[in-house]
Amino acid sequence: MEHPLALFRYCPKCGSPRFAEHNSKSKQCQDCGFTYYINPSAATVAFILRPSADPACGPELLVVRRAKDPARGTLDLPGGFSDLFETSEEGVRREVLEETGLQVTDTRFLFSLPNQYLYSGFLVHTMDMFYLCQVSHTDGVRAMDDAAETMWIALQDLRPEEFGLLSVRSGVEKFLANFPI
C-alpha cells in the first residue's frame, strides 16, 4: 500500500501541483511554502463491563459486531473517531451512545495503540485510545449506527482472534493480560 501522502498531489492551501515530499511525514509546497504533516487521527475504544448473572463466570464485556467495512461481520468494541473540538473522553461517550444507546457516566484512560484503518481506499493512521467506561445502566443496550449486533461475553470466553481490527484485537489481549478484574 502506498504512503497516504502519495494521494495528496496538490497543495491544499494554494492548489499548486508543486507539492513535493518534504520528509517521511510531510509534503511542502514549492510555491507558497505550506508544509502539510500527516498525523494519526484520534479514535476511541470502550471497555464496558457488567457482572455476570452467573457469579462463577466473572464479569462480562460488551462487544459489538461490525456492520460496515473494514472488517464487517467481525467482533469489535464500541468506539470510533473523535470529532473536531471534542475531547477523547467526549468522543468515547458519544460513540458508545451512538452505537449502543448506553450513557457513559465515567471514563478511565487505560492505554493507546496505533492502528491503520482503510476507509474508501485511503489508509487512515489512527491513535486508538482505550477507556474503561462506566455506564448508568446495562439494560436496554441495542445495536445502532456502525454496530450490527451487541452481546455480553464473559471475559473468560473472549477470543481476541475474533476481533477484526488489529488494534482492538491487541487491545483486548492487553486488557486481559494486564487488567484482571
Tell me, yes or no, whether 144 and 156 share the same domain.
Answer: yes
Residues 73, 135 within the same domain: yes
Q: Which of 160, 171, 62, 159 is nearest to 126 (CA)?
A: 171
CB-CB neighbours of 171 under 10 Å: 25
Number of domains within the chain:
2
pLDDT of residue 111: 97
Expressed as residue numbers, the domain containing 9 is 4-37
Q: Are both 100 and 161 inside the same structural domain?
A: yes
66 and 131 inside one domain: yes
Rounded to 5 degrees, what are φ and ψ at 60? -115, 150
Quick one: 27 and 99 in the same domain?
no
Q: Is 49 left (phi over 0), alpha (psi -120 to 50) or beta?
A: beta
| Among candidate residues 81, 75, 97, 95, the one with its CA nearest the CA of residue 150 | 75
Question: Which cell numbers hold the place of 92?
Answer: 468515547
Give me the torsion for CA of 107, 111, 117, 122, rounded to 10°.
Answer: 100
Instruction: Tell me what pLDDT residue 120 has.
Output: 81
Q: How big is the chain, counted in residues?
A: 181
Per-residue pLDDT tens for 45-93?
999 999 887 878 789 999 999 999 889 999 999 999 999 999 999 999 9
**DSSP conformational letter for 40:** P
| 22 shares its domain with 83 | no
Mean pLDDT for each 10-residue chunk of the chain (181 residues)? 82 96 94 95 96 84 94 96 97 98 97 90 90 93 94 94 96 89 56
Residues 167 and 79 in one domain: yes
Whether residues 86 and 29 fall in one domain: no
